[in-house]
Structure formats: structure tokens, C-alpha cells
Amino acid sequence: MNKIKVGIINVTGYVGAELARLLCRHLGVELISVTGRSEVGKKLGDVFPHLSPIDLSIEAEPEDAGLVLSALPHKASAEVVLSLLEKGIKVVDLSADFRLKDAEEYQQWYKFIHPAPGLLREAVYGLTELHRHQVASSRLVANPGCYPVSAILALAPPVKEGLIYPDIIIDSKSGVSGAGRALSLNAHYSETSDNVSAYALEGHRHLPEVIQELKVLHPNFSPSITFVPHLVPMTRGILSSCYAKLLEGKMANSERGKAELKELYRGFYKGEPFVKVVDTPPQTKQTWGSNLCLIYPTIDLRTGRLIVISCLDNLVKGAAGQAVQNMNLMLGFPETMGLEALAIYP
Ligand SMILES: NC(=O)c1ccc[n+]([C@@H]2O[C@H](COP(=O)([O-])OP(=O)(O)OC[C@H]3O[C@@H](n4cnc5c(N)ncnc54)[C@H](OP(=O)(O)O)[C@@H]3O)[C@@H](O)[C@H]2O)c1
């Protein structure tokens, strides 16, 4: 098979390094270039010893390739993505720059004027399970945020089927790698170990993409969402607990209703290689290093409230694995190629 040349921008971040790990053994692509400002000229394996089988030096600029994955911070990514598209290179952007459809909303949440508002409509929101066909024919895919992957997949079935009231609570916990590799006081060992903290109570930037995508599933649904992220002392992983009141008469408030709810989820995700509806509440460790999102839906029979627990690895299904899943479709490969690894345990 002729391999398609691909590149990674910002391999010096956690997401970029995770992309390199996944692409290293991918049978359909050849990783030809990796960039990262702070380590230009160094061998990739000298900066990240676990990536030493990849014989590449870190460059300042990406080489021309069939597809490039950009793992830059937002704002920096938009500018690079524009130049790649102008050269006819397909792009998976892992930053937030092309996720929102509305340029004003982007400006409100990200505090700068979007450099290419015309591309926001064209970019496909890369939650593969919901937009598979559009991803396959796109030249620009906006990979979703890590929290949104867990929350949207957890809530998509009841929203699509019109089972819940729009008043939703999403309570999410993330490992520290979600904050990136750049040094910051909040990520110091002595600040994060033996500690759990809530943050962004005034509104987290991932909230608008969750609302946008739930509306796509059910255009008459206007979600009112309280989303509270938490930082917990682990390296990888996101666990989201989602709550919403079930609409009366839609699902029996009984053991039978719980079983029907699970069947509804199983039907919704039938055939999905990376979304599994499980029989017991999932734990983040069950997804470490894998591209799986595990989902457990149930009903709190005392209150008639839907509870959905979902979990994933923020660097895989929440970022690099999701991006490779999208890349596979954009390049005409089987969706699961290079993503077959099981989770690491214990
Ligand atoms: N971490 C996650 O779980 C996660 C999940 C989903 C999506 N994402 C998104 O993926 C992207 C990368 O995330 P990450 O966690 O890998 O970030 P990260 O580890 O914090 O990467 C930060 C690195 O980006 C480079 N950088 C910073 N500002 C730059 C600029 N203006 N121009 C060029 N390079 C710049 C710097 O490396 P150099 O100095 O070497 O250039 C910096 O060390 C972000 O957009 C993030 O929102 C992250």
C-alpha cells in the first residue's frame, strides 16, 4: 500500500506527542514531519524517549503533506491552518479554532476576532460518531474538545429521542494532562496531588460546543446546561456525570425503564467501534491509552432523573485518537486503523 504522508504541528505538547505515538505504527500513513518551536533541530527521540523509533528531527515549519494534524493552542492554530488549506493540504485541527459555527460566539469565548469566519461553516465538527459522512468528505475537520466528547456522547441518545428536559447538569473530572504540557502553578505536583478542585464555574470554553452539537441533534431542543469541570490527581482521563430530568410518559420510572433506556443507548451506538454501553459505571482506568468512550445510562428511580456516566482518555478519544479516527475517514482508510490498542491496566 502506498502510504500517505502526514505531519504533526506542535509535537512538543502532550496532544502532539500522543499523535506521534499513535501514527508511529499506523499502516496507512508515513509521518514525515513534526514541528515544535522550543525543540527545533533536536531528534524527536531525544525530547521524548518513548518516541525514539520515529527517526525524525523537530522542525520549525511543517513539510508539505497529504494531511496535517495541528495540535497548537487556539489562535495560533487558526493562522497555520489557513496557510495549509491554501496549499491544498487537508487538516485536522485539534484546537478550538474551528469548532464553533458562529464567529461572534467564538470571539465571546476566545477573546479574539476569528481570522477566517468564512471557514467556520465549512469546517466539520469532528465527533465522528455524529458526523461521519461529512468528516469523510471534508478538507478541514475541527476535532472536538475533550470534555465535550464525553458529554455529547453521553447525552446524544436521549436528546435525539426527545426524552429529557433541557435543564442539564454536566459534572466532569479531568486528569492534569488536560491542562497541557506548558508549566503552570495549578499543574504542580504539590498543588494537584491529594487534591480535587472545581474550576471555570463562570463558564468553561467547552460549553458552547456542547450546546451547539446537542442542538444539531434536535433542532427544537434549547439546552440550559450547568457544566462544572474538576481537576483530579491523575495523569489522564475524564469522567463525566450527566443529569437531566426525564420527560413524563417517555420512559417508565422502574427497572423496566432502566433496561429500556440501556437498550436505547445500545441501539444508538450499535456498530460503533469506539463507544461502548456498559453494564456497570465505568472508570477512567478502563480507557487509559485506548480510543474508547464507555457509557453507563440509568434512571434515579427516587427522582425520575436520568444519570449518565461516561469516561474516556482525554489524550486519546478526547484528542489524538479522535483525530486519527477522523484522519482515517478523510484519507479513505478503515475508521479503526491504528486505533486497535486495548486500554492499559492496572
Ligand atoms: N490536553 C488535552 O487533553 C487536550 C484535549 C483536546 C484538545 N486539546 C487541544 O489541543 C491543543 C494542544 O493541547 P496540549 O494539551 O497538547 O497543549 P500543550 O501541551 O499545553 O502545548 C503547549 C505547547 O504549545 C506550544 N505553543 C504555545 N503557544 C504557541 C504559539 N503561539 N505558537 C506556536 N506554538 C505554541 C508550546 O510549545 P513550543 O514552545 O515547543 O512551541 C507549548 O509548550 C490545544 O489547542 C488544546 O486545547 C488538548
Read off the CATH number of the domain in which 54 is found: 3.40.50.720
Q: Are residues 167 and 53 in the same domain?
A: no
Identify the pLDDT of residue 114: 96
CA distances from 149 to 31, 141, 214 (A): 26, 15, 12
DSSP-assigned beta bridge partners for residue 198: 230
Identify the pLDDT of residue 219: 86
Is there a domain that residue 341 lies in?
no
Cβ–Cβ < 8 Å for 96, 205: yes
Q: Are residues 94 and 155 in the same domain?
A: no
**Tens of pLDDT, residues 166-204:** 999 999 999 999 999 999 998 999 999 999 999 999 999
Is there a domain that residue 345 lies in?
no
Is there a domain that residue 343 lies in?
no
CA distances from 250 to 55, 220, 245, 247 (A): 57, 17, 11, 6
Pocket test for ligand 1, best of 72, 98, 316 (most atoms within 8 A of CB): 72
Active-site amino acid positions: 146
Cβ–Cβ < 8 Å for 284, 343: no
**Tens of pLDDT, residues 267-311:** 999 999 999 999 999 999 999 999 999 999 999 999 999 999 999
Q: Considering its fold, how many domains does the chain have in total? A: 2
Q: How far apart are CA 283 and CA 173, in angstroms?
A: 11
Closest atom of ligand 1 to 37 CA is: 41
DSSP-assigned beta bridge partners for residue 226: 169
Q: Are residues 159 and 305 in the same domain?
A: yes
Q: Are residues 301 and 178 in the same domain?
A: yes
DSSP class of residue 133 equals H
Domain assignment of residue 204, given as a range: 147-314
Q: Are residues 178 and 60 in the same domain?
A: no
CATH number of the domain that 194 lies in?
Answer: 3.30.360.10
- Is the peptide bond preceding residue 73 cis, with omega within 30 degrees of 0? no
Whole-model pTM: value is 0.97
Residue 1 has pLDDT above 90, yes or no: no
Q: How far apart are CA 64 and CA 62, in angstroms?
A: 7
**Tens of pLDDT, residues 96-152:** 999 999 999 999 999 999 999 999 999 999 999 999 999 999 999 999 999 999 999
Is there a domain that residue 342 lies in?
no
Cα 152 to ligand 1 centroid, rounded to whole Å: 23
**Tens of pLDDT, residues 9-46:** 999 999 999 999 999 999 999 999 999 999 999 999 99
DSSP-assigned beta bridge partners for residue 164: 246
Q: Are residues 166 and 120 in the same domain?
A: no
Written as nine digits, the cell of 166 is: 433541557
Is there a domain that residue 161 lies in?
yes
Q: How far apart are CA 260 and CA 305, in angstroms?
A: 15
Cα 102 to ligand 1 centroid, rounded to whole Å: 23
Confidence of residue 2 (pLDDT cuts 50, 70, 90): confident
How much is the mean pLDDT over the chain? 97
